[in-house]
Structure 1
Amino acid sequence: MKKTALALLVVSNLANASGTLMQEATYANAGAAGAGDGVYTETATAAYTNPATMSHMGKSKTTINTMLLDLHMDYTDTPDESPLNNTRKAQGDGSAHTIMPSFGIFHVTQLNEDVHLGLMFGSIGGTAVEYGSDWEGAIGLDEALVTAVQFNPALSFKVTDKVSIGLGAQLNYGILEAKTTTLETDLDGDFAWSFNAGAMYQEDDWAVGLSYRSKIEHEFDVDVISNIDDLETLSTDLIFPTIVDLSGSYDLNPQLTLLGSVQWHKWSDYPATPLYVNGSDTAPVSVDRDWDDVWKFAIGTDYQLNATWALKAGFSYETSPQDDPTKQWVDLPVGEQYRYSIGASNQLDNIRIDMFYEFADLGTVHVERSNVDVTGSFDGYIHFIGANVTF
Structure 2
Amino acid sequence: MKLSKPENNNIPTIQTSTIANLPSPIRFKKLLLSLVVITAFGITQAQASGFLLQEAVVANAGTAGAGDGVYTESAAAMWANPATMSHMGQSKTTINAMVFDLELDYQDNNANGNANGHTVMPTLGVFHVTEVNQGVHFGLGLGVVGGSSIEYGDQWAGAALLDNISLMAVQVNPSMSFQIDEQWSVGIGAQLNWASLEQNTAMISTESGSDWAYGYNLGAMYQPNKQWALGLSYRSKLVHKFDLDAQGLIPHPDLGINKVTTGVVVPDIVDFSASFSATQDLNLLTSIQFHRWSHLDNTALSLSSANGRIEPDMSIDREWSDVWHFAIGADYRLNADWRLKAGFSYETSPQDDPSKQWVDLPVGEQYRYSVGLSTMWNDTGVDLFYQYTDLGNVDINRLHLDGRFDGRIHYLGANFTF
TM-score of Structure 1 vs Structure 2, range by shorter chain: over 0.9
Show CA shifts across 1:144-194 (max 9, x none): 123210000000000111100000000011111111011100001111111
Using the aligned pairs only, state the percent identity. Answer: 52
TM-score by length of 1: 0.95
Query: Contact 1:188–1:221 at 8 Å: present in 2 too?
Result: yes
Instruction: Return 17-26 or 288-297, whichever deviates more.
Output: 17-26
Q: Secondary structure at 1:111's aligned position in 2?
A: strand
Structure 2 gaps of 5+ residues are: 1-27
> Over residues 187-244 of structure 1, what are the superposed CA-to-partner deviations in whole Å (9 max), with x where a residue is unaligned?
0111111100100001211100000000111111011111231111001123321110
Q: Counterpart of 2:363 in structure 1: which amino acid?
A: V
- Alignment-derived partner of residue 248 in structure 1: 274
Aligned partner of 2:33 in structure 1 is 6
Determine the structure 1 residue equivalent to 2:407. 380
Q: Which residue of 1 aligns with 2:44?
A: 16
In 1, the alpha carbon distance for the partners of 2:84 and 2:121 equals 29
CA deviation after TM superposition for structure 1 residue 337, in Å: 0.2
1:197 paired with 2:218, answer: yes
Is residue 129 of structure 2 the alignment partner of residue 102 of structure 1? no
Matches of 1:244 and 1:103, distance apart in 2? 24
How far 1:347 moved relative to its partner?
A: 1.2
Say which of 289, 298, 308 aligns to 2:318. Answer: 289
In 1, the alpha carbon distance for the partners of 2:311 and 2:233 equals 37
Partner Cα distance (1:284, 1:212) in 2:
32
Structure 1, 190-199 or 302-311: larger mean CA deviation: 302-311
Q: Which amino acid aligns with 1:228?
A: P
Question: Residue 334 of structure 1: CA displacement?
Answer: 0.4
C-alpha contact (below 8 Å) 2:348/2:366 kept by paired residues: yes
One-letter amino acid matched to 1:189: S
Match of 2:13 in 1: none
1:71 to 85, 102, 112: 102
Correspondence list, 1:324-335, <5 A: 324-335=353-364
Give the secondary-structure state (helix, strand or coil) at the position aligned to 1:9.
helix
Structure 2 residue 331 is the aligned partner of structure 1 residue 302: yes
Q: 1:115 aligns with which of 131, 136, 141?
A: 136
Structure 2 counterpart of 1:82: none
Amino acid at match of 1:211: S
**C-alpha offsets along residues 53-85 of structure 1, whole Å, 9 cap, x if unaligned?**
000011100000001110011100002xxxxxx
- Structure 1 residue 304: Cα displacement: 1.3
Contact kept in structure 1, 2:294 and 2:319, CA below 8 Å: yes
Question: Residues 337 and 363 of structure 1 are in contact (CA less than 8 Å); yes or no, is this contact kept in structure 2?
Answer: yes
List gaps (5 residues or longer) in structure 1: 80-89
2:171 maps to which residue? 150
Q: Aligned partners of 2:58, 2:273: CA distance in 1, in Å?
A: 13
SS at the partner of 1:335? coil
Q: Distance in 2 between matches of 1:99 and 1:109?
A: 34
| Contact 1:308–1:348 (CA under 8 A) maintained in structure 2 | no
